[in-house]
Structure 1
Amino acid sequence: MAKIVNYRIAHLSKYYPPDRGGIETHVQTLAQTQAALGAEVQVFCVNGFDEQGRVSTKTKTVFEMDGNVKVTRIGRLFSLARCDVCFGLCQELRRLINESKPTIFHLHTPNPTMLMALTMLDRNIPLVITHHSDVIKQKFLKYALRPFEYLVYTRSSQILTDSLQYIQGSKFLQFYHHKLSDLPLGLNLGIYSNPNQKAFDFSHSFKDKYGETIWLGVGRLVYYKAFHIAIQALTLVPGKLVVIGVGPLEAQLKALAQKLGVENRIVWLGRVNEDELVGAYHAATALWFPSNLRSEGFGLVQVEAMASGCPVINANIPGSGVPWVSRDEKEGLTVPINDPFALARAAKRLLSEPNLRDRLVKASRKRAEYFNHMNMAQRSFEVYDKVLSQERSYGVIPKPVDL
């Protein structure tokens, strides 16, 4: 008879869909896939929405189900320096710790709120951390968090990154080299490789509205996404740039587009639903992904595009997994960071070189299969099993029950 391991998984995420972002998408995909494979999975995150579903800085705690995943959205009182102050977070986590079933806690960082909460909990809880990226630009936040990071990372049983390349480029992670490994992000590829009718129809309407040459940008409008490089590159190539995403730099980017005379060739779509996003990938000539700092550790939207048959033009960020996900001249084209001229040259190659785009599309679809969500979930279970074995050997948690 099969052995039933008596534990649960609690993901500690900064936010969770409908908040959109690479980490949020990853946490949802991993949690749902783990639940589909039989695990008992919960997600704790900050609630960023009011009762009407609008983005708000002051919210209430909400309990809901996302398929088979229990989601606890902790209400926040306010936000300060990118840290959400949430009353009741520690109480909810302690409640879970004190229940009869032991729980694997899986923290996703950077995540100041959950990081500080963990410093106030039992140091013996089984803890896995996925370190998605270092804190790069926010120097004050970086050094203010360092004592909390030291406490939590030292207590952790295993630290994961999205790629081996990120480990090699992070001075911070070298302090924990004895407990490091990688867990590449994964997706339910079928959503992108075999679009439903709504996505298919949106793709056709997308081309009818914006033409045959569409450069797509997907991501939050923040500094390290480097959308200003894409806008500068647009002045050198034909077609339209369609931007999906919102963020604090929107007004600044629109002002740059106007200054450079390309405001009429950029479409700012803001937030879109899943079908519209998939349709946009299928309509686009390529995804422009000019992110320029190691705050971009992986670039999950690259996998979305590749699975959709949309080749990627990315930037060669030192010490990041971005150029490893879509590799230069194999599945996509990689250009130097902060170089709009190189981005434009790569885009022109897709338009002019015979069979180049078709070759990259075929290779992209094949490469995307490596980032399958089932593979990711199975690898996460291997990590958890290793952690639980270590904890049992120290007498922290009871042995599993054979049934």
Structure 2
Amino acid sequence: MPLRICHLGKFYPPARGGIESHTQTLARAQVALGADVRVVCVNHDMGGVDATWRIIASTPSVEEVDEGVRVTRVGRHASFSRFDVCPSLFSALWRIRREGVDIVHVHAPNPTIFSALSLMPPFGTLVVTHHADVVKQRVLLKAYRPVESFFYSRAALVLSTSDDYIGGSEALLRVGSKAKALPLGIDRTPFAEPTPRARAFAEKLRAEHGSPLWLSVGRVIYYKGLDVAVDALSQAPGKLLIVGSGPMETELRQRAERRGVADRLVWLGRLDDEELVGAYLAATALWFPSNGRGEGFGLTQVEAMASGLPVINTHVPHSGVAYVSRDGVSGITIPMNDPAALAAASHRLAADPDLRRQLGERARERAAAEFDERVMASRSLAYYAEALGGTHSTDGPAARRAGPPVSDASA
């Protein structure tokens, strides 16, 4: 019987985000290695409208198959401080418990999933990926920390996205030797072998906006340091392309007006996969000026590196940001909250094509060696084998398969 894995995530692509992309990539790669994989997440799609940031928004429950991964998107009615109200979540989890699963892999922070699991008897061997600490949301943190501590103590393994992150995380330090590093990985093919459409979009961006072109990809939220990027643009040449959206967009537009760079700030919004690859191809470097440990890894750095694009990132203490793209290897690392340093690094890359080429080549090599999806999936299955061979399984395989059926109604 193949290993049965259930990933419990916040959202799932086409929802945008590093955790979402990681969950999909890991699940698909595990299927390719022979595992039976399913995902349960919240449905972000409200009839073609992204409901991620809406407080009141109803979405339906949907069942799909994504390259061999069975995906259950549970409907939600509202969201308060990142807690989604999803009445159908319980029935989905009870059904999985009844059918049997070997590994329950939760991607955290995830108040919604942990709250639902706390109301159920344990099932499967619990593995958690701790993607990032809850830092800014103080009200959420006060309510979430006891729940987090309870499930982390129950987990067989708690995975971090890098060794660097473990040393600064109270949650990870509390679990001691159960904390292990599983760096994120991606399918490098679309970035290493861009399609004609991706190349055409790159040419379009260059023709419309000239050179140099700096690129930012991701949700427009506080720890991305885009306020620093806007300030740096007033001292750097070229334009900044921003792919993504989020709650700080209006504030950043106003900041750009005050700094006199609004005409050099290009908001591309949400791009499809080929257009995103084209944006990486068109850019001179990825700007990644994150300034908080809410940024635990930075998966878009890996996408840029796989595209052969140098990265300008920041040294965020006890975060994996500077681990992903190494200073002098695949890019340039600067101090946090330093617009002048970001501008200086940009001037250096814009003026030195040989340096850009060398960093780009080494970026591709590092992406292949450390952050390929097959490397990540193989590491994950080795960790699962370790967890299943230990003493942390909350319910034996025989009991999982022969346990009494539980009706959805009883949830």
For 2:409, the equivalent position in structure 1 comes to: none
Q: Does 1:24 align with 2:35?
A: no
The residue that corresponds to 1:92 in the other structure is 92
Residues in 2 aligned to 1:346 and 1:149: alpha-carbon distance in whole angstroms: 39
- Look up the match of 1:9: 5
Aligned equivalent of 1:49: 45
Cα distance per residue 1:285-316 (max 9 Å; x no partner): 00000010000000000000011011000011
Select 1:34's aligned residue among 30, 33, 54.
30
> Aligned partners of 2:309 and 2:372: how far apart in 1?
17
- Contact 1:118-1:152 at 8 Å conserved across structures: no
Q: Which residue of 2 aligns with 1:66?
A: 66
Partner Cα separation in structure 2 for residue 156 and residue 124 of structure 1: 11
- Structure 2 distance, partners of 1:121, 1:312, is 44
Are the equivalent residues in 1 in contact too, given 2:101–2:123 (CA < 8 A)? Answer: no
Report the equivalent of 1:77: 77
Match of 1:119 in 2: 118
Following the alignment from structure 1 to structure 2, what is the Cα–Cα distance between the partners of residues 354 and 378? 37
| Contact preservation (8 Å) 2:124, 2:400 | no
* Cα distance per residue 1:112-134 (max 9 Å; x no partner): 10111121222353110000000
Which range is displaced more, 102-111 or 280-289? Answer: 102-111
How far apart are 1:36 and its partner, in Å? Answer: 1.8
Residue of structure 2 in register with 1:244 after alignment: 243
Give the corresponding residue for 2:406.
none
C-alpha change, 1:260 and 1:139, in structure 2 (3 Å) is same
CA contact (8 A) 1:126 1:391 kept: no
Q: Could you tell me whether the CA contact under 8 Å between 1:97 and 1:103 is conserved in 2? A: no
Partner residue, 1:349: 348
Gaps of 5+ in 2: 402-411
Indicate the larger mover: 49-58 or 231-240: 49-58
Tell me the distance in 1 between the aligned counterparts of 2:246 and 2:262: 18
Q: Secondary structure at the match of 2:389?
A: helix
Q: Verify the 8 A CA contact 1:210 1:240 in the aligned structure 2.
A: yes
Does 2:372 correspond to 1:372? yes
Q: Which amino acid is the alignment partner of residue 41 of structure 1? A: V
Alignment-derived partner of residue 303 in structure 1: 302
Displacement after TM superposition at 1:163 (Å):
0.3
CA distance, structure 2, for counterparts of residue 235 and residue 376 of structure 1: 39
Instruction: Give the 3 Å change call, closer, same or farther, for CA 120–373 of structure 1 in structure 2.
Output: same
**CA distance in structure 2 between the partners assigned to 1:205 and 1:51 by the alignment:** 31
* Poorly superposed stretches of 4+, deviation over 6 Å: 392-395
Q: Percent identity?
A: 47
- The one-letter amino acid of 1:63's match is E
| Distance in 2, Cα, partners of 1:236 & 1:224 | 21
**Cα distance 1:394–1:32, how it changes in 2: closer, same or farther (>3 A)?**
closer
CA distance in structure 1 between the partners assigned to 2:223 and 2:266 by the alignment: 20
Output the amino acid matched with 2:255.
L
Residue matched to 1:386 = 386
Q: Indicate if the aligned counterparts of 1:123 and 1:155 stay in contact, CA closer than 8 A.
A: no
Partner residue in 2 for 1:230: 229
Deviations 1:219-267 (A, max 9, x none): 1110000111011000011101100000011111000001111101111
**Separation in structure 2 between the aligned mates of residue 154 and residue 399 of structure 1, nearest angstrom:** 22
Aligned pairs for 1:273-288 within 5 A = 273-288=272-287
Report how many residues are paired.
396
Q: Which one-letter code corresponds to 2:113 in the other structure?
A: M
Instruction: Output the TM-score relative to the length of structure 2.
Output: 0.93
Counterpart CA distance in 2 for 1:88 and 1:400 is 22
SS in 2 for 1:129: strand
The correspondence of residues 266-277 of structure 1 with structure 2, limited to 5 A, is 266-277=265-276
Contact 2:281 2:309 in 1 (8 A): yes
1:352, CA displacement in angstroms? 2.2
Contact 1:391-1:397 at 8 Å conserved across structures: no
Instruction: Provide the secondary structure at the position in 2 that maps to 1:169.
Output: coil
Identify which range, 371-380 or 47-56, moves more after superposition: 47-56
Q: Deviations over 1:5-44 (max 9, x none)?
A: 4x41111000111110100010010111111222111111
User: Are the aligned partners of 1:47 and 1:61 in contact in 2 as well (CA < 8 Å)?
Assistant: yes
Q: Deviations over 1:47-100 (max 9, x none)?
A: 11123454362112111111211111111121111110110212211111112x
TM, length-normalised to structure 1: 0.95
Give the match's secondary structure for 1:84: strand
Runs of at least 5 residues in structure 1 that lack an aligned partner in the other structure: none
CA contact 1:316–1:336 (8 Å) conserved in 2: yes
Q: CA RMSD in A?
A: 1.8
The residue number in structure 1 matching 2:293 is: 294
Between the aligned partners of 1:74 and 1:362, the Cα distance in structure 2 is 42
SS at match of 1:127: strand
State the AA in 2 paired with 1:70. R
SS at match of 2:223: helix
- The Cα of 1:400 is off from its aligned counterpart by 12
Q: Distance in 2 between matches of 1:399 and 1:166?
A: 36
